Chains A and B, each alone.
Chain A
Amino acid sequence: GESVGLHLPTLSVQEGDNSIINCAYSNSASDYFIWYKQESGKGPQFIIDIRSNMDKRQGQRVTVLLNKTVKHLSLQIAATQPGDSAVYFCAENINSNYQLIWGAGTKLIIKP
C-alpha cells in the first residue's frame, strides 16, 4: 500500500491566515520529500522540497518541516491568498531511486 498519506483531505483557511498541511510517511528509507500544488484543470507544480538530512527549508511564503522521528512532514503557507486554493500533494523518494510515491492530496479552500 501507499507509504505516504495525509491527515486531512480538506482544509479551510481564512484569507490572510497561515495554512498548515500535514503528511505522514512510513518508510525509514525515504530520503527526499517534495510538495506539489495542483490547481483545477492543471498538472501538478513544484512548490518546495527537502532532503532527509534537513529538518526545515524555507521558500517564498512557504516552509517545509520534516520530523524524521515521527515520520511527519508539513507544509506551511504564510498569509494565505486566494491563489493558494488548490490540492496539495506530498511525495517521497525512497533509496534515491528517482521514483516519487505520492500521497492522496489535501484540498485547500480559502475563505474570504
Chain B
Amino acid sequence: DADVTQTPRNRITKTGKRIMLECSQTKGHDRMYWYRQDPGLGLRLIYYSFDVKDINKGEISDGYSVSRQAQAKFSLSLESAIPNQTALYFCATSDKSSYEQYFGPGTRLTVT
C-alpha cells in the first residue's frame, strides 16, 4: 500500500466551482505539504503544516485554503476554481527531523 495517497487522481471541474483535494499518509509524519506543478516548471509550495495546529502559507497560497483534519490527513480546497489553477497537485510529508519529503502520486486538475 502507498504511504502517501491522494484523491481524486484526476478531476475536471468548471470555473467557479469549489473543489477539494485530499491527502492521507500512513508514514506517521508530523509535517505535510501541498505543491502545484505546471508544465516545464518545478514544484511551488501552496501551504504547509508542521503539525495539526500549525498551518502556514507557502509561495502561492492565493485562491487556495487547507485543512489539517488529523495528523494523517491534509486537504486542499479551491474556493472558486479558475482556469489558471489547472495543474498537477502533489501532497508530500516529512518527518520533523528530516528535510526529505515523500510525495503522493499527484492529482491532475483541469478547470474549464
Contacts and interface: CB of A to CB of B under 8 A. Distances in A.
Interface stretch (A13-21, A63-71, A77-85, A100-108): A100-108
B65 interface: no
Q: Is the interface of B mostly helix, strand, loop or mixed?
A: strand
B103 A99 contact: no
A41 B45 CA distance: 19
Interface residues of A, number: 22
B101 interface: yes
A74 interface: no
A102 B44 contact: yes
A41 B58 CA distance: 24
Contacts of B34: none
Contacts of A105: 40-42
Contact of B100 (A2, A43, A46, A103): A46
Contact of B90 (A43, A98, A103): A43
A91 B102 CA distance: 14
Interface string B25-57: 000000100000000111111001010000000
A99 B50 CA distance: 11
A25 interface: no
Interface of A: 2, 4, 9, 32, 34, 41-46, 49, 89, 91, 93, 98-100, 102-105
Interface of B: 4, 31, 40-45, 48, 50, 58, 90, 92, 94, 99-106
